[in-house]
């Protein structure tokens, strides 16, 4: 492979996402992926402790997924999805619905997490529009992240990610994450809105773990209470499981910890095992039915050129095959148990403000002079330290977290913990 000048050419021609163009270090060329590892241009093995932006489930270049995708590429690479269909999309819809709560009956395909959220928001608005009911407002959590498109930004937190666009975002009611102390107050605030304004169309949330916010975690029973309240007041509930889906929280979906059933689900990231971009928005039958009408203006006019791309669907089906294997679930359990043991060891560490865990997700909030914040400078120091030890992490400010592929071994996790302890020790 000719990598001559790749770093310089990268700097000259490429604009990277979420990247400080002024201060960015040279991008590190990744030339190969295998299992839980990346290989850089110096042939150095790097443990991928963040599943390559939270997408990879079963390891890089898994032979089984690669084989299935290759077969699909020899058969059908793309087909217009309006008025045509194909086996991978239909089988995937059927199989995903088996894993989702039984109120979910339809699968709408798009390309990524942000579009899965846009589709969800638009489904909700279309549902009320089609019935001439003037409900157009959403409730979301403070610090939420639902993607970088305008709808996603609007229901997300107002912060550095979107302040250039702030006055173009639509109005959303942001409520705090619920806990023992504030749950009743939150319920009261919501109830007041429902009764006095009657304009709340939907409630969107990341169930159990707010990823980009810094892996903030909350209890399912509080979310259950809020969903119940919404349902009692004809408010549609959207579970954004883009990050939490496919085993991350220890269950297939984070919503499996709930008693209430959300009306809409957004899926992406792990959906294809991390191989291809694909988004899914599933919904309950009543939402679909509201768009079935003699009146053509009630059509849900949304779609993307790559909707239900067969290759992406094939990757997803192969990843589901692996997800359904008992071995994968023993691995998920092993990761959750190891994290838990490590958490018990370090929870009182003087360099840590907080340690939290949900299933395979472990987050350590490190004490810094600056407050906990995405732009906290600790991020780069942490990432550089781990990189020198052969591990890729991407802290959210001073929040260091691990979301490994499920093929990681106990020994590799123990190495990760040992590096973490050494890192904490050398902090002053």
Ligand X SMILES: *Cc1c(COP(=O)(O)O)cnc(C)c1O
- Contact present, 320 and 62 (Cβ < 8 Å): no
Q: Is 208 in the site for ligand X (CB under 6 A)?
A: no
**Pairing mode, strands 264-267 and 279-284:** antiparallel
State the minimum distance, in angstroms, from the CB of residue 265 to ligand X. Answer: 12
Nearest to 243 by CA among 121, 112, 333, 140: 112
State the minimum distance, in angstroms, from the CB of residue 226 to ligand X. Answer: 17
Nearest to 72 by CA among 415, 287, 308: 308
CB closer to ligand X out of 316 and 368: 316
State the minimum distance, in angstroms, from the CB of residue 74 to ligand X. Answer: 27
State the minimum distance, in angstroms, from the CB of residue 55 to ligand X. Answer: 8
CB closer to ligand X out of 111 and 365: 111
CB closer to ligand X out of 113 and 310: 113
Residue length of the chain: 428
Alpha-carbon distance 397 to 298, whole Å? Answer: 44
CB closer to ligand X out of 405 and 423: 405
CB closer to ligand X out of 161 and 300: 161
CB closer to ligand X out of 385 and 406: 406
Q: Is 124 in the site for ligand X (CB under 6 A)?
A: no
Residues 62-81 within binding reach of ligand X (CB under 6 A): none
Alpha-carbon distance 142 to 416, whole Å? Answer: 31
**Pairing mode, strands 361-366 and 172-175:** unpaired
Q: Is 147 in the site for ligand X (CB under 6 A)?
A: yes
Nearest to 147 by CA among 223, 242, 238: 242
CB closer to ligand X out of 212 and 399: 212
Say how many C-beta atoms besides its own lie within 10 A of residue 39's C-beta: 16
Q: Phi first, then psi: what are they for 71, rounded to 5°?
A: -55, -45
Q: Is 146 in the site for ligand X (CB under 6 A)?
A: yes
The residues near 270 (Cβ < 8 Å, ≥ 6 apart) are 51, 54, 55, 56, 57, 245, 246, 247, 248, 319
CB closer to ligand X out of 242 and 280: 242
State the minimum distance, in angstroms, from the CB of residue 177 to ligand X. Answer: 14
The residues near 371 (Cβ < 8 Å, ≥ 6 apart) are none
Residues 230-249 within binding reach of ligand X (CB under 6 A): 240, 242-243
Nearest to 28 by CA among 43, 346, 374, 13: 43
- Helix, coil or strand: residue 217: strand
Which of the ranges 23-31, 88-96, 143-151, 415-423 carries the binding residues for ligand X, by CB under 6 A? 143-151
Q: Is 268 in the site for ligand X (CB under 6 A)?
A: yes
Q: Pattern 329-358, binding to ligand X, x per CB under 6 A?
A: ------------------------------
Could you tell me how many residues of this chain bind ligand X (CB under 6 A)? 15
Where helices occur in 294-348 by DSSP H, the ranges are 310-323, 326-346
Closest chain position to ligand X (CB): 113
CB closer to ligand X out of 239 and 287: 239
State the minimum distance, in angstroms, from the CB of residue 325 to ligand X. Answer: 25
CB closer to ligand X out of 145 and 342: 145
- Contacting ligand X (CB under 6 A), which of 81, 141, 145, 218? 145
Which of the ranges 37-45, 140-148, 287-295, 367-375 carries the binding residues for ligand X, by CB under 6 A? 140-148
State the minimum distance, in angstroms, from the CB of residue 57 to ligand X. Answer: 15
Residues 98-117 within binding reach of ligand X (CB under 6 A): 112-114, 117
**Pairing mode, strands 361-366 and 37-40:** unpaired
Q: Is 211 in the site for ligand X (CB under 6 A)?
A: yes
Residues 167-206 within binding reach of ligand X (CB under 6 A): 206
Alpha-carbon distance 334 to 332, whole Å? Answer: 5
Where helices occur in 131-262 by DSSP H, the ranges are 150-155, 183-197, 220-232
- Helix, coil or strand: residue 345: helix
Q: Which parts of this chain interact with ligand X (CB under 6 A)?
A: 112-114, 117, 145-147, 206, 211-212, 240, 242-243, 268-269
């Amino acid at each position: 492979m000719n990598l001559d000048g790749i770093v310089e050419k990268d700097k000259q021609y490429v604009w990277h996402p979420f990247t400080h163009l002024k201060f960015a270090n040279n991008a590190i060329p990744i030339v190969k992926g295998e299992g839980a590892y990346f290989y850089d241009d110096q042939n150095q093995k790097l443990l991928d402790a963040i599943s390559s932006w939270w997408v990879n489930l079963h390891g890089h270049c898994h032979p089984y997924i690669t084989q299935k995708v290759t077969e699909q590429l020899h058969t059908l690479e793309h087909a217009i999805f309006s008025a045509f269909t194909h086996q991978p999309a239909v089988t995937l819809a059927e199989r995903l619905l088996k894993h989702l709560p039984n109120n979910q009956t339809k699968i709408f395909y798009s390309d990524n997490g942000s579009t899965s959220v846009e589709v969800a928001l638009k489904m909700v608005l279309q549902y009320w529009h089609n019935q001439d009911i003037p409900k157009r407002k959403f409730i979301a959590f403070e610090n939420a992240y639902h993607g970088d498109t305008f709808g996603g930004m609007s229901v997300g937190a107002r912060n550095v990610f979107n302040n250039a666009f702030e006055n173009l975002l639509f109005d959303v009611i942001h409520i705090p994450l619920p806990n023992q102390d504030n749950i009743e107050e939150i319920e009261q605030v919501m109830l007041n809105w429902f009764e006095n304004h009657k304009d709340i169309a939907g409630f969107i949330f990341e169930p159990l773990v707010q990823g980009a916010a810094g892996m903030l975690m909350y209890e399912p029973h509080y979310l259950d209470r809020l969903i119940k309240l919404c349902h009692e007041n004809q408010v549609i509930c959207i579970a954004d499981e883009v990050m939490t889906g496919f085993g991350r929280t220890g269950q297939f979906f984070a919503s499996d910890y709930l008693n209430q059933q959300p009306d809409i689900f957004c899926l992406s990231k792990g959906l294809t095992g991390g191989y291809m971009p694909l988004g899914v928005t599933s919904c309950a039958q009543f939402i679909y039915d509201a768009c079935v009408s003699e009146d053509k203006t009630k059509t849900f006019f949304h779609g993307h050129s790559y909707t239900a791309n067969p290759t992406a669907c094939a990757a997803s089906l192969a990843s589901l095959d692996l997800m359904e294997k008992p071995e994968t679930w023993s691995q998920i359990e092993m990761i959750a148990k190891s994290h838990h043991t490590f958490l018990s060891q370090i929870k009182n560490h003087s360099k840590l403000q907080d340690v939290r865990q949900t299933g395979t997700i472990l987050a350590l909030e490190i004490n810094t002079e600056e407050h906990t914040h995405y732009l906290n400078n600790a991020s780069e120091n942490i990432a550089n330290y781990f990189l020198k030890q052969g591990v890729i992490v991407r802290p959210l400010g001073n929040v260091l977290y691990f979301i490994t592929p499920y093929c990681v071994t106990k020994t590799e996790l123990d190495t990760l913990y040992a590096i973490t302890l050494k890192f904490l020790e050398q902090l002053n």
